[in-house]
Structure 1
Amino acid sequence: MKKIVALNLVALAAMGMTAQANAYQAEINGAYMNMDNDVVDNDMYQVGGEFYVDGVQANSGPFVEAAFLDQATSLRASYLNNDTADVDGVVLGGRFVDKNSGLLFEADATTGDLEGYQVGLGMYIDTHSTITAQYYDQQDSAELASGYGVTYKNLMTNNNGTYFNMEASAQYLDNDFDEEFNSFEVAGDYYFNKMMGLGLNVAVNGGDIDSTEYGINGSMFLAQNVTLEASLTQEDFDDTNQDETSFLVGGKVRF
């Protein structure tokens, strides 16, 4: 149920860059994640980038939500590596939004040791909220898992210059061993201004493995084109003492 969160490995490069007046064409990102479940201590890395076909205007709302608010169409690629398990893969994907109708389509395909794909189809209900249905198909060296989900997102603007983002999602998966898993998650992010936010999330996972996840995350822009991010997640399993803690740090560079 874990999500790879993009982190910047080259933030210092932005010290020599000039912010482009609330607009950008691309992002470079990287990631480091440590996941410890009392049995295995996993180190994972990610580096990638995203190109926005028509650019992104960041004139309204939190900078971290600029692509969402601008209904931006993009192409993306990243490299993932789990150093402990000695597996890696390349992810290629993108997101298309028809601004006239509000319809959106997104897809990602993974090659290498983590072969699989996921697709999503949804729409902008209005300028600040979306609903999307997803289908997943994931193949690794041990099993094939597939399933589907639905996600709702709503970014609200407050009168005092702050913002609140709310997300809710449900997911169902099964695998080759006739095991079934479901997950229900709610998350919220409070943005103190356009440049800084703090978020919380809770997920209840059921089926053949029952667990509860709690997470906290934060983001801060050092400039309009540089952001640093961090998150901490704890997953408590109901039928075992083998709990799991994940920690991420990083950011992004835009240009």
Structure 2
Amino acid sequence: MKKTILAIAVAAASAAATADYQGEVGVVYGQGEVAGAVDYDTVGFAGRYNFEMVDTSKGPHAEAAFLDKSSSVGFSYSTLEPDVSGADDIDSMGVDVRVVTDTNLIIEAAYSQLDDGNDDADTFAIGVGTYLNDTTDIVATYSTVDDDGDDLDALNLDLHSVMKLQGTASLAYDLGIAYLDADEDDGYSLNAGATYYIDNNLGISLAADMMDVGDVDSNTVSIGVSYFPMPEVELAANYFDQGGDIEADGILLGAAVRF
């Protein structure tokens, strides 16, 4: 009997230890339609390395790095293939770093590039923010896009927070506003979203954003689900519908592994 109890205790301790992680890699596949006429397929890869082990015991697994105030570096790559004869693929890649100091200061930097076969668009971004408390941060970000001479500068202010609810439930929410300065016009964008976590493993999200720059406006609504069948594995699905002057929709399916 004592041996059985000891074995159970060792197994539980091992499971708890493997729940923490330092890195993760993921893949996503999607299909959709642009302008109501052109179908597309897309596939992407992403990864993130945290400078220290991430404690997953503070809330939802999907929010673990945020709640543990983790510093990290990440990368991403994706390619989109339009279902049009002779059309070029649209490739994008990016790298980013986020540093959180002992005084709760947040410093972020990112670079990304998009190549549609004819033009390249390079985006540089730098952000500074702070944790207002252990479960809420706010970050101001300046970014600039150079699209072969057509520039777009943006100043964003974004807030993210996770609230503990009754029982095993939690609610995470995002609020953001941005000022956009294009070559000939300026404008703004707004975004808001929330994820209801039934428990630490399962979350259901809803988000919306809108953009208005000169004569161009768009609005997007998305709904998604994230599920951890085990602490080291995440499965996710997301559907979005974009309207306005830029019309598109699609569904994305993804999976990630932590280690």
Q: For the residues of structure 2 that align with 1:24 and 1:229, how far apart are their CA atoms?
A: 19
Question: Hey, what does 1:129 align to over in structure 2?
Answer: 136
- Residue 47 of structure 1 aligns with which residue? 45
Q: Larger Cα Rg: Structure 1 or Structure 2?
A: 2
Aligned counterparts of 1:159 and 1:50: Cα–Cα separation in 2: 31
Q: How far does residue 110 in structure 1 lie from its aligned partner after superposition?
A: 2.1
Partner of 2:6: none
Partner of 2:256: 252
Q: Where does residue 227 of structure 1 map in the other structure?
A: 234
Deviations 1:212-254 (A, max 9, x none): 32211110001100001111111221xx6x6321321112100
- Give the alignment partner of residue 24 of structure 2, picking from 18, 24, 27: 27
The alignment of Structure 1 onto Structure 2 pairs a total of residues equal to 233
69-78 vs 28-37, greater mean Cα deviation: 28-37
In 1, distance between residues paired with 2:51 and 2:253? Answer: 28
Higher relative contact order at CA 8 Å, sep ≥6: structure 1 or structure 2?
1
How far is 1:111 from its partner? 4.2
- Gaps spanning 5+ residues in structure 1: where? 1-17
Q: Which amino acid aligns with 2:112?
A: T
Could you say which residue in structure 1 is the equivalent of 2:60?
62
Q: TM-score, normalised by structure 1?
A: 0.84
CA shift for structure 1 position 107: 1.2
The residue correspondences of 1:117-156 to structure 2 (distance < 5 A) are: 117-141=124-148, 143-156=150-163
Distance 1:30 1:139, change over 3 A: farther
* Aligned CA-pair RMSD: 2.0
1: CA distance, partners of 2:91 / 2:162: 34
Query: Hey, what's the Cα distance between the residues in 1 that align with 2:114 and 2:226?
Result: 31
Q: Which residue of 2 aligns with 1:104?
A: 106
What SS class does the counterpart of residue 18 from structure 2 fall into? coil
Q: In the alignment, which of 77, 90, 99 is matched to residue 87 of structure 1?
A: 90
Equivalent residue number for residue 73 of structure 2 = 75
Pick aligned residue for 1:199 from 180, 205, 208: 205
Gaps of 5+ in 2: 1-14, 83-87, 116-120
Aligned to 1:10: none
Letter in 2 for 1:31: V
More helix by percentage: 2
Look up the SS of the partner of 1:236 in the other structure: strand
State the 1:186 CA deviation: 1.1
Ranges of 4+ aligned residues in structure 1 off by more than 4 Å: none
